[in-house]
Amino acid sequence: MYVAVKGGEKAIDNAHRWLGEMRRGDRRVPQLETAQISEQMTLAVSRVMAEGSLYDAELAALAIKQARGDLIEAIFLIRAYRTTLPRFGYTSPIETARMRCRRRVSATFKDVPGGQILGPTFDYTHRLLDFKLLAESEDEQAEEAIPQDSADVPHVLGLLDRDGLIQKEHRTDEEPVDITREPLEMPASRAARLQVLARGDEGFILGLGYSTQRGYARNHAFVGELRIGLVDVEMEIPELGFAISLGVIEVTECETVNQFIGSKTEPPQFTRGYGLVLGQQERKSIAVALVDRALRWKELGEDFLGAAAQDEEFVLYHADNIQATGFVEHIKLPHYVDFQSELELVRMIRKDAEAAREKADD
Amino acid sequence: MTDPSDTSLGDTPPEGTHDQDYNFAYLDEQTKRMIRRALLKGLAIPGYQVPFASREMPMPYGWGTGGVQVTSACLVPDDCIKVIDQGADDTTNAVSIRKFFERTAGVRTTEKTGEASLIQTRHRIPETPLEEGQILVYQVPIPEPLRFLEPRETETRKMHALEEYGLMHVKLYEDISSHGHISTAYAYPVSVEERYVMDPSPIPKFDNPKMHQCPAVQLFGAGREQRIYALPPYTDVVSLDFEDHPFTRLRNDGVCGLCGADDTYLDEVIMDDEGTRMFVCSDTDYCATRIEEAAE
Amino acid sequence: MAENSLAGGFAAPAVNSAVAFRGIMMAMAEPGRIMPVSGGIPPRPMDSAAGVLALTLCDPTTPVGLMPSMDQPAIREWLTFHTGAPIIAPGEAEFVFGRFDEMADFTVFRQGTSEYPDRSATLVAAVASLENSGAVLRGPGIKESRALNLPDVTPFQANAALYPLGVDVVMVAGGDLVAIPRSTRVEVE
């Protein structure tokens, strides 16, 4: 005899307990401390802060611990928390020209004012497993290289800008949209696009950026400058009449120099792509700059080549991994009702078809 | 740009029955106001999809974040809510959403359709006819009925603006010419007040006629897609069809193996390795009520 | 700022606004149905129902317009203190507060666009009284028909003719409100 399934509540409670046990793993191994994650898994923390769009390393570490290392799940935890936070106001734009750079490289000029800083990069490591890390060994301490005071470190692209060699970015004091407070509208402003890209899924943006290099809306990019470092976050307090510093955040900024445009009447000029991401997110910031540039085809008078990276709706509606993972995974939820209706429809159409065939056979 | 009216912190409702770590019904007041404004515009323009700045909820997109946000914005402490998924009150996600509102809003819950002041649903409309004063909140995955014909939002928005629904009719007619039937069995498009074509969410088309001139308020929330739409009570909601191929409801013409109903939407249950089937009501409350009544 | 502009807000905002919204929503869902709302006391001459609506729906993201009868320092201060809504020209505003006779030409307010008809004004119009007699209302939210003592049918008829564009009107009298959205068709009794 069939009995309708009951007990969903109990199943959920048990599943949650089991999940907790799996997260903890073997109890003979010491429990991970969130400080260990925030200090020693900094790039994972950066990614969770960037795509969670909340700059808080401690909470990002907690989310990573709770999510058993599943970074998309950790990003989701941060997003769900972030959305409940009250807004006190909006800060002034950060000044990346006053960044205390931990790393700064230009692929377009051998030397630049302010100098190139290689910084803590994997770039020239040999990708050989370091078995010493299996044991508890301490690495040598490096010399402190990051400048303590903010000083003007002019952007490399500013040099091209001064000579009119690169397309001007028009400075505006227009209030940018906040994509977490307003529904995304198409066509989207560049500010909205850059926000979506900044918190978009690293893998998705990386794939799209890569596709532009392989010929899908190729735009010949050079990294004009990539810088990683600390910037001050300030807020104007109208009652005080001046800005106060709220703290310091780490960001990664990439500016690309791209294929030039021009015509018989207009002298040729290079174009730009831009990527700014929270934390140390080098790969992501470069990919964002490539996709940003590809999305600017209309503004720069280029043709739409049908490439995915040029397609604003395609890119912006599919970049968010929390939206994507939800909808992709939701098809595992019960769909008995809609499936049943299709089943009945297919049965009905088949019956009609068989009847028609039998009739034809007669 | 501070918000003096945002009192989501330290706000004590009189009853105090909800989890005091969260604002009443979870969402902060500014978010609720934004959703409430969208709901009013939705009711004023039945079937039109109002964009809203959907928030990340503590459950994944696809699990009903749109419905949860709409419910959260509508709830009052006196409400008695019912949550169903696939017609059933005890499916895991229905249980999870019901617990969420018990905890964050402290509202009463029920499985009885007739006792609920607000029903949140995924994929079904209850069999028991809804009444005036009730609110039915639908969870919607893809609110745009034209999306599968045209993936671009800029295009579909224009099509709604110009009332340009020819493409939809062409698609439905092509179905008829290749299959002899319209091959849409759920999320079957409707025309609202002869103006907007609307996606009724993935309810089976069996349920479509229940929307027409329904005495209850029907609200639709699509979280991931950031859209809200609505049907006031007693609104004309007509399933798209053709004169030579009128709309028909579709159900397995069996009888419920538990309560004997022959006019309800049925779930098909596979009983054994031989493929023996049994059909039971998808609406668990309706079925249980009929069994109780028969026993009396 | 006058002391009384600090008073008259919701005592328990989350619950007060939830209950008030439910009233407003049912009014919008059932055009012509008179709904009482409570919990807020704005400075006169603003009706309490208009004040409750403002407390429930307005905030720093919703520009508000005030017609001459409502454009008074006490009301401005009260709205600013309790909602944070910026006060701008009525023709640009999302919510407009006034007396019905000041707003009888609905077309000067935001009508929405064909792609975004929701981007239209909601008019909160004070009338002397509300009762279910007089003009005949039909349309979504109304089973057959409902009567309402509209001060004038012409602007409502012109508004409905613009559907899906147009404004949505909430009429207030004391603690009662009634909604006539653009979808409502109005006939003389």
For A282-311, the pLDDT digits (tens) are: 999 999 999 999 999 999 989 999 999 999
Tell me how many residue pairs between chain B and chain C have CB atoms under 8 A apart.
146
**Cβ neighbours around B21 below 10 Å, total:** 7
Tokens of B144: 């745009």
**Is C1's pLDDT higher than 70?**
no
Asked whether residue A103 is assigned to any structural domain, the reply reads yes
Q: Do A181 and B51 form a contact (C-beta atoms < 8 A)?
A: no
Helix (H) and strand (E) counts in chain C: 4, 10
Note whether A2 contacts B258, CB cutoff 8 Å.
yes
**Is B217 within 8 Å of C29 when comparing Cβ atoms?**
yes
Write down the pLDDT at residue A58: 97
Same domain, A312 and A167: yes
Q: Which percentage of chain B shows pLDDT scores above 70?
A: 95
What CA–CA distance (Å, rounded) separates A334 from C6?
Answer: 51
Flag whether pLDDT at A7 surpasses 70.
Answer: no
Residue type, B147: R
- Chains touching chain C at 3 or more Cβ pairs under 8 angstroms? B
**Domain span holding position A54:** 2-82
Tally of domains within chain C = 1
**C-interface mutation test, from B40, B69, B195, B226, most C Cβ less than 10 A away:** B40
Does A171 lie in the same domain as A285?
yes
Shortest distance between the Cα of C20 and any Cα of chain B, in A, equals: 9
On chain C, the residues whose CB falls within 8 A of the CB of B1 are 60
Residues A343 and A297 in one domain: no
pLDDT confidence band for B10 (50 / 70 / 90): very low
Tens digits of residue pLDDT in A93-135: 999 999 999 999 999 998 888 889 999 999 999 999 999 888 8
Residue A328 lies in a domain: no
Overall average pLDDT of the B59-69 stretch = 95
Q: Is the pLDDT of residue C168 over 80?
A: yes
In a mutational test of the B interface, the residue from C6, C21, C52 whose CB has the highest number of chain B CBs within 10 Å is C21
Q: Closest Cα of chain C to B179: distance in Å? A: 35
Q: Are A59 and A16 contained in the same domain?
A: yes
Smallest CA–CA distance, residue B116 to chain A, in Å, is 20
Asked if A83 and A76 count as a contact pair (C-beta separation under 8 A), the reply is no
Secondary-structure breakdown of chain A: helix, strand, coil percentages, each rounded to the nearest 5: 45, 15, 45
Same domain, A67 and A113: no
Closest chain B C-alpha to C175 CA, distance in angstroms: 19
Same domain, A240 and A354: no
Chain C residues touching residue B195 (CB < 8 angstroms): 163-164
- Which residues touch A176 (CB under 8 Å, ≥6 apart)? A189, A191, A192, A195
- Asked if C120 is an interface residue toward chain B (Cβ–Cβ < 8 A), one would say yes
Q: What angle do CA C105, C109, C114 make, to 5 degrees?
A: 115
Q: How would residue A6 be classed by pLDDT, with cut points 50, 70 and 90?
A: low
C141 falls within a domain = yes
Say yes or no: A343 contacts chain B, CB-CB below 8 A: yes
pLDDT for residue A237 is more than 90: no
Same domain for A237 and A211: yes
Distance from CA of C25 to the nearest CA of B (A): 6
Q: Do A338 and B96 touch (CB under 8 A)?
A: no
Same domain, A172 and A294: yes
Best C1, C5, C6, C25 residue to mutate vs chain B (most B CBs within 10 Å): C25
Residue A17: exposure state from Cβ atoms within 10 A (0-12, 13-18, ≥19) = exposed
Distance CA B198, CA B175 (A): 19
pTM of the model: 0.92
CATH number for the domain harbouring residue C55: 3.40.50.11310
Place of tokens 């309402």: C148
Q: Which residues have a Cβ under 8 Å from the Cβ of C129 and sit 6 or more positions away?
A: C149, C173
Number of CB atoms found within 10 A of residue C109's CB: 22
How far is B110 from chain C, CA to nearest CA, in Å? 20
The answer to whether the Cα torsion of B83, B88, B94, B98 is positive or negative is positive
The answer to whether residue A131 is domain-embedded is: no
Higher pLDDT pick, B235 / A173: B235
More confident residue, B275 or C135: C135
Chains that touch B (3 or more CB pairs under 8 A): A, C
Q: Tell me, yes or no, whether A10 and A112 share the same domain.
A: no
Mean pLDDT value of segment C91-114: 97
A284 found inside a domain? yes
Return the minimum-mean-pLDDT range out of A83-97, B32-46, C1-15. Answer: C1-15
Report residue C93 CA to chain centroid gap: 12
CB–CB of B233 and C115 under 8 A? no
Q: Structure tokens of A289?
A: 């700059």
Task: Report how far residue B251's alpha carbon sits from residue B280's, in angstroms, rounded to the nearest whole number.
Answer: 12
Q: How high does pLDDT run on average in chain B?
A: 92
**pLDDT higher than threshold 90 for residue A314:** yes
Residue of chain A with shortest Cα separation from B285: A4
Same domain, residue pair A208 and A267: yes
Domain assignment present for C161: yes
Does a structural domain hold residue A136? no
Predicted confidence (pLDDT) at residue A192 exceeds the cutoff of 90:
yes
User: Is residue C94, in this structure, part of any structural domain at all?
Assistant: yes
Cβ-based contacts of B30 with chain A (< 8 Å): 87
Q: Which residues of B touch C52 (CB under 8 A)?
A: none
**Residue C103 belongs to a domain:** yes
Task: Please check whether residue A139 lies inside any domain of the structure.
Answer: no
Of B8, B40, B51, nearest to C24 by CB-CB distance is: B40
Does a structural domain hold residue A130?
no
Domain that holds residue C183: 13-187
Does a structural domain hold residue C6? no
pLDDT at residue C3, as a whole number: 53
Output the pLDDT for position B154.
94
Count structural domains, chain A.
Answer: 3
Q: Do C83 and B235 touch (CB under 8 A)?
A: no
Q: Are residues A6 and A33 in the same domain?
A: yes
> Strands, DSSP E only, in B36-140?
50-51, 80-85, 108-109, 118-122, 135-139
In a domain, C7, yes or no: no
Answer whether residue C5 is part of any domain: no
- Is C4 a member of any domain? no
Name which of B62, B85, B99 is nearest A327 (Cβ-Cβ).
B62
Q: How confident is the model at residue A4 (pLDDT cuts 50, 70, 90)?
A: low
Asked if residue B12 has pLDDT above 60, the reply is no
Region B121-137: mean pLDDT is 97
State whether A346 and A304 are in the same domain: no
* pLDDT above 50 for A180: yes
Q: What is the mean pLDDT of residues A255-278?
A: 89
Known catalytic residues of B?
47, 256, 259, 281, 287
Which range of A108-112, A126-130, B2-6, B18-22 scores highest in mean pLDDT? It is: A126-130
Q: Residue A114: inside a domain, yes or no?
A: yes
Q: Which of the residues B1, B35, B56 would you substitute to probe the A interface, choosing the one with the greatest number of A C-beta atoms within 10 Å?
A: B56
**Strand ranges, E, within A124-221:** none
- Is A338 near chain B, with CB under 8 Å? yes
User: Which residues of A, range 6-25, sit inside 8 Å of B by Cβ?
Assistant: 6-9, 11-12
